[in-house]
Amino acid sequence: MALTINQIGPCFAGEVAGIDLTKALSSEDAASIHAGMDDYAVLVFRQQPMDNDQHLAFSRSLGELEHAIGTSLRASKDNRFPTNFADVSNLDKENRPFEREDRRRLFAIGNRLWHSDSSFKETPAKYSLLHAHSIPSKGGNTEFADMRAAYDALDEETKAEVEDLICEHSQLYSRGKTLFTDFTDEERERFAPVHQVLVRTHPVTGRKSLYLSSHAGTILGWPTPEASIYLQDLVEHATQRQYVYTHEWRVGDLVIWDNRQTMHRARPFPDQEPRDMRRTTLAGDGPTVI
C-alpha cells in the first residue's frame, strides 16, 4: 500500500498512513517522507509501537544522527539510554519520576518554552523523531508552530529588518527565562552561546522561515534588552493559534518535525506520573552562519 499524508494542522502538519515503521524503509517511502517533511514540516505516525533499536533503525534510514552529548543535566552514568537518544522523559535510571525539585527536571522544564532543538549547537538539528512509550493521564501535549507561515505573515518592513540579523543562542538564555540559574562553571562553559541566522531558507522548497527559539537571547550588534524584547515579540507573533498544531499523544505515536521550519513546546502534566518520551535527532547540514 502506498503511503498517504493528510493535513491535520491549520497550515502544516500531516498524518501519515500506510506504513509500518518497524519494517525496513523502502527508498520510495523514504522519498515520500522527506517530501512530506518539506511540505508539512511535521508528520504524525499513529500506532507505531517500536523498541529503541527499531526507532534508531528507522531514524538512520532518513539521515545521519545527531548525538545528545552534554546537552542536558543528566550525568552519563545516570542515562537510561545511549547518547544517540535524547531522553525527554521525566524518569530517572530506575524509571521513577524525578522529584519535584530535582534539578534535571527543572532544567528539562525549559522544553515548555517554544524552541527549536539544538539551536544552541553550531550545527543545529534537522529533524527530531519523538516516540511515546508512556503518557500521563492528562496534559503533556506537544505544540508545534509553523515558522514559514509566521515569516510569510510579516509585513515587508519587518521582513527587510530581520533578513540579515544574527542571534546568539544558548541553553543559558532559555533556562534564564525560567529563572533557572543553578549552573556549575563547567555547565556554563559547555553552554557557551553560538550564532544562528534569524531567517532561514529551506534548501529544497526555497521557503523562508523565522529561525526562533527560546535559546535565542540576543541579536549581534543590538543592545541586549532591545534584542530580547524584539525576539519575544516575534515569538508571540509566530505562535498565534492560526500557526499552531497541538499533538495529543497516544502511546505508540511517532512525531517527526523539521527544526529548521518549526518551533515546538511541551505542555504541563502531573509531575508524579511517568511520561516516557524518547527522541532521536537527525543532524543538520552545517552551521547557519558561515
The contact set with Mn ion (CB under 5 A) reads 117
Nearer Cβ to Mn ion (12/127)? 127
Distance CA 97, CA 239 (A): 30
Work out which of 264, 269, 280, 282 binds ligand OGA, going by CB under 6 A: 264
Q: How far is the CB of 144 from Mn ion (least distance, A)?
A: 10
Q: Across the strands, what pairs with 255?
A: 44, 130
Does 145 engage in binding with ligand OGA (CB under 6 A)?
no
Does 259 engage in binding with ligand OGA (CB under 6 A)?
no
Distance CA 36, CA 4 (A): 9
Nearest to 73 by CA among 82, 64, 86: 86
Q: How far is the CB of 4 from ligand OGA (least distance, A)?
A: 26
The one of ligand OGA, Mn ion, none whose footprint includes residue 48, by CB under 5 to 8 A per kind, is: none
Q: How far is the CB of 112 from Mn ion (least distance, A)?
A: 10
The 8-class DSSP code of residue 12 comes to: S
The one of ligand OGA, Mn ion, none whose footprint includes residue 43, by CB under 5 to 8 A per kind, is: none
Give the helix, strand, coil percentages of the chain, each rounded to 5.
Answer: 30, 25, 45
The one of ligand OGA, Mn ion, none whose footprint includes residue 279, by CB under 5 to 8 A per kind, is: ligand OGA
Does 266 engage in binding with ligand OGA (CB under 6 A)?
yes
Distance CA 39, CA 54 (A): 25
Does 154 engage in binding with ligand OGA (CB under 6 A)?
no
The CB-nearest residue to ligand OGA is 266
Size of the site for ligand OGA (CB under 6 A): 10
Q: Which residues, numbered 101-130, are part of the site for ligand OGA (CB under 6 A)?
A: 111, 117, 128, 130
Nearer Cβ to Mn ion (117/168)? 117
Work out which of 16, 50, 88, 91 binds ligand OGA, going by CB under 6 A: 88
Amino acid present at 248: E
Query: At CB < 8 A and 24+ separation, what contacts does 25-34 make?
Result: 25/58, 25/61, 25/62, 29/3, 30/61, 30/62, 32/2, 32/3, 32/5, 33/3, 33/62, 33/256, 34/62
Does 209 engage in binding with ligand OGA (CB under 6 A)?
no
Nearer Cβ to ligand OGA (23/46)? 46
Q: Where are the beta strands (DSSP E) in 62-165?
A: 65-66, 86-87, 125-134, 142-146
Amino acid present at 110: G
- Grid cell digits, residue 127: 529533524
Distance CA 41, CA 175 (A): 26
Nearer Cβ to Mn ion (29/117)? 117
> Which residues here bind ligand OGA, judged by CB under 6 A?
88, 111, 117, 128, 130, 142, 264, 266, 277, 279
